[in-house]
């Protein structure tokens, strides 16, 4: 239940931050992804966001369900939108309370200096083609079934926002102009 509440609070916080710059921004939840952001004049989202809340700090796993389930969800959404091969690609954000360890392909997909789509793609390819773990096999197969160009396009659009605040800490992350509105 905490994960769903986190998702709602995160959606509202991000919508409030975006709406200061553009009042046409809209949020949808649980349509194509956990959270989607779109502009009033378009029905296609410009951000697809997966939120993953864990009560205890830990590492985001390259082989784990949190990441590969997100990838499978994005592939499904991009298929519906017709964006796997061409057109404007939405930003694919994974917001997680876990930490992407240095040296992992997850860390290379953070929005920071050192971001490397090519290195992340190479790391994802290795993990996706492995036989284990079995609990992510279907999600990894969905990824490997894409063409190389589609896989590159997908990986280039992924942004890992790790070490996000726990639900109990979200209020303290709200900009002061938002907190004063309460």
The pLDDT of residue 20 is 83
Average model confidence (pLDDT) across the chain: 87
Mean pLDDT of 67-84: 96
Mean pLDDT of 25-36: 90
Max intra-chain CA distance, the chain: 52
The tens digit of pLDDT for each residue in 101-132 reads 999 999 999 998 989 999 999 999 999 999 89
pLDDT at 178 over 60: no
Give DSSP secondary structure letters for the chain: -HHHHHHHHHHHHHHHHHHTT-TTEEEEESSSSSEEEEETT-SS-SEEEEEE--SS--BPPTTSHHHHHHHHHHHHHHHHHT-SSSSPPPEEEEEESSB--TTSTTGGGSSSTT--HHHHHHHHHHHHHSS--GGGHHHHHHHHTS-HHHHHHHHHHEEEE-SPPPGGGHHHHS-HHHHTT-
The tens digit of pLDDT for each residue in 135-144 reads 999 999 999 9
More confident site: 103 or 178: 103
């Amino acid at each position: 239940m905490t994960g769903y509440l986190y998702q709602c609070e995160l959606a509202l916080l991000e919508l409030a931050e975006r709406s200061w710059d553009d009042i046409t921004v809209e949020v949808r939840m649980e349509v194509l992804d956990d959270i989607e952001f779109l502009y009033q004049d378009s029905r296609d989202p410009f951000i697809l966001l997966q939120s993953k809340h864990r009560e205890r700090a830990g590492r985001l796993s390259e082989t784990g369900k949190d990441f590969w389930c997100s990838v499978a969800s994005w592939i499904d959404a991009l298929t519906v939108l017709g964006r796997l091969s061409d057109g404007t690609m939405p930003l694919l954000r994974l917001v997680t309370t876990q930490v992407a360890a240095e040296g992992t392909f997850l860390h290379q997909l953070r929005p920071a200096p050192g971001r490397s789509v090519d290195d992340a793609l190479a790391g994802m390819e290795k993990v996706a083609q492995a036989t284990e773990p079995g609990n992510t096999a279907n999600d990894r197969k969905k990824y490997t079934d894409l063409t190389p160009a589609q896989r590159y396009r997908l990986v280039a659009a992924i942004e890992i926002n790790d070490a996000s605040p726990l639900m109990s800490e979200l209020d303290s992350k709200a900009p002061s102009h938002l907190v004063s509105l309460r």
